[in-house]
């Protein structure tokens, strides 16, 4: 399979082409199984009007975790984002294959809406850090509470888009330059951008054709900007 490319297809089908024990790190944000809905969908012209594909498919997550384990090299790590409302399900499935090292708390700069009259605004997400075997940390040890602003406004291409600097931290802590990083639900392409910025190779899948096209364009634009900057600095 060609490196440094994203594919517009079902990740479970595409992963069949990835050999066993070939990936150095997985950083992934699968469907949260919360059947995501928003009042914005009443506005058919809103850019986040699309339903998130497979957002109620538990078997998909089970199969995906099994495939992730298969393609990962021994003694490697995976970061998997998870909704706090489904943390028990994700934990149970991950424990069948992996050793859970941390449940990282990502604290955001603002909270979700939710039930405005009966619940507090949620200001965090869970990130599972799991090992296949035992993967040592790169660099300085940090805590399991991370503070990164969420992506918002015009920069947001996907309703669940993750900050590139957060993804870079995941990548830097559990891989080295030249490693292969995988994401089966690459969404707006942030994992690929983080890999480019940290000199890692990447493989990604995105089933939604609209998001795939947006991600592919974003990645190519980012590469072009980096090349222009190198030329301006006299490196090319």
pLDDT tens track for 37-47: 444 434 444 44
For residue 85, pLDDT over 50 is answered with yes
CATH of the domain spanning 5-232 = 3.40.50.150
* pLDDT tier, 158 (very low <50, low <70, confident <90, very high otherwise): low
CA 82 from centroid of its chain's CA atoms: 10
Delimit the domains of the chain by residue range.
5-232
* Cα distance between residue 51 and residue 68, in whole Å: 25
For residue 51, pLDDT over 90 is answered with no
For residue 127, pLDDT over 60 is answered with yes
176 in Cβ contact with 139 (< 8 Å): no
pLDDT value of position 36: 43
The DSSP annotation for 70-131 comes to: HHEEEEEEEEEEE-GGGHHHHHHHHHTTSEEEEEEEEE-SS---S-TTTSPPP-EEEEEEEE
24 in Cβ contact with 75 (< 8 Å): no
**Tokens matching residue 198:** 């940290």
């Amino acid at each position: 399979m060609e490196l440094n490319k994203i594919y517009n297809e079902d990740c479970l089908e595409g992963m069949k082409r990835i050999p066993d024990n070939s990936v150095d790190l997985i950083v992934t944000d699968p469907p949260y199984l919360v059947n995501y809905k928003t009042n914005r969908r009443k506005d058919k012209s809103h850019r986040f009007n699309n339903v998130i594909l497979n957002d109620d498919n538990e078997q998909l997550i089970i199969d995906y975790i099994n495939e992730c384990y298969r393609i990962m090299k021994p003694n490697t790590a995976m970061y998997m984002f998870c909704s706090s409302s489904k943390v028990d399900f994700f934990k149970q499935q991950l424990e069948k294959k992996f050793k859970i090292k941390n449940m990282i708390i990502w604290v955001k700069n603002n909270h979700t809406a939710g039930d405005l009259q009966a619940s507090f605004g949620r200001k965090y997400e869970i990130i599972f850090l799991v090992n296949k075997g035992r993967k040592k940390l790169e660099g300085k040890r940090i805590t399991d509470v991370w503070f990164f602003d969420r992506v918002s406004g015009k920069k947001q291409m996907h309703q669940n888009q993750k900050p590139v600097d957060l993804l870079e931290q995941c990548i830097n802590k559990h891989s080295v330059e030249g490693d292969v990083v995988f994401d089966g639900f690459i969404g707006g392409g942030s994992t690929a951008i983080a890999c480019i910025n940290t000199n890692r190779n990447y493989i990604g899948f995105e089933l939604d054709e609209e998001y795939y096209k947006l991600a592919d364009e974003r990645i190519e634009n980012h590469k072009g900007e980096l090349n222009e900057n190198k030329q301006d600095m006299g490196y090319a």
